[in-house]
Chain A
Amino acid sequence: MNNGTKAPACDKAVSGRRGFLAGLVGAGVLSLAPGVTLYRFAEANEAGAAVTSKVRWGMLIDASKCTPGCTECVTACNDEHGLSGTGRPKTDAQWIRKVDGKNKKTGKQWSLPVMCQHCAEPPCVDVCPTGASFKRADGIVLVDKHTCIGCRYCMMACPYKARSFVHEDLENQKPYSPRGKGTVESCTLCVHRVDAGRRPACVDACEAAGHGAMIFGDINDPDSAISKRLAAYPSMAIRADLGLDPGVRYQGI
């Protein structure tokens, strides 16, 4: 491709989250003076570099900020990936859902979004007979729909009920989110946005709604906002007993 010749634009959001990449991915070189160059890191993926395991994308959800009844994240996900709109919401795919609960003794209510937890040891990948279910180097668990045969073993293996099956022919899919009949699908952590240096749609929507209950970032980078928060406050994984080491963590439950 054309890497090494241009210095692609690099916005603040990208540099903040991908600061660790500086020097590792020389996507462009900016000449300051003869003999002096400033290596700029930019969107690695556009420069043709594969994602690496130096990053592990994760999410931290603060239950104390998540409001019962609010479904901004669910709506944002449905809009982003074109999940709803068949007129039959009961059979629509569900990549993220709100789970409400109540402590019967104290009456304390809580509400949480639950989606693919992007496990480090994903059971869906273990059981997939074709290798369609896989974990990307940066920790995002995906379905390669080109090789998915729709057997749905992964749906049975997932302890979080995170996956959906597409039962009918679809039209007008989003160009960045291909979906089709006979394949299993789940939260992609908005991989198309992440590869472009942006945050998942649900995180943006949660912040836009004024809740700020979801933080997205690199949990391998000790300087990222999510890592600092994880280091400072107690957090937990749902079904931590299974030892799957999910990338999605919860706080305040």
Chain B
Amino acid sequence: MVRWLLALTMIGVLSAAALVTVAQATDSQTVNSQTVNTQTVNSRVPIPFVPKGKGDVCVRDVAFMRANHMELLLHQRDATVHQGVRPKESRLNACLDCHAVAGKGGKPVSYKDPKHFCRACHDYAAVSIDCFACHNSAPTGAEVAGQ
């Protein structure tokens, strides 16, 4: 009986060690494949590189925006499409205006580019968004009201 217990414990220890090895390998691979988008803290944990937007402040504070930006967009999209409410600040195009990242030649990059400010975080969090199947992902300079 004692022998069996010992054997089981050994198996447990070995598999735990193997798991740790696998985890470390995955971690370093993630860092390597996303060098463009991630920076590391204490040389171990990759965190997303979030490009800085224009100006000093966003429409709400940073903590709120991190947790709730999708709620703002969802609320705004319904209010705009169904009720014609078009405030200047809390709309998708306003996000693009401030947060657009310049690519080669100073032109704002589209969602196809991993540097795009939405992708910077969404790639990291493995959250896929389909906003840009319909919406333009880069500011075009055209007024939203078509003026």
Contacts and interface: CB of A to CB of B under 8 A. Distances in A.
B55 interface: no
A56 interface: no
Q: Looking at chain B's contact residues, is the secondary structure mostly helix, strand, loop, or mixed?
A: loop
A51 B83 contact: yes
B133 A169 contact: yes
Interface string B109-147: 010000000000000000000000111100110111111
Contacts of B81: 142, 144, 146
A22 interface: no
Interface size class of A (residues with CB under 8 A): 35 or more
A196 interface: yes
Contacts of B84: 45, 50-51, 136, 138, 191, 195
Interface in A188-220: 190-193, 195-196, 198, 201
Q: Looking at chain A's contact residues, is the secondary structure mostly helix, strand, loop, or mixed?
A: loop
Given A173-B136, A175-B140, A45 B86 contact: yes
Contacts of B86: 45-46, 192, 195-196
A49 B142 contact: no
A48 B85 contact: yes
B142 A137 contact: no
Interface in B44-77: 77
Interface of B: 77-79, 81-88, 93, 96, 110, 133-136, 139-140, 142-147
6 contacts: A50-B83, A138-B84, A176-B146, A178-B135, A178-B136, A191-B84
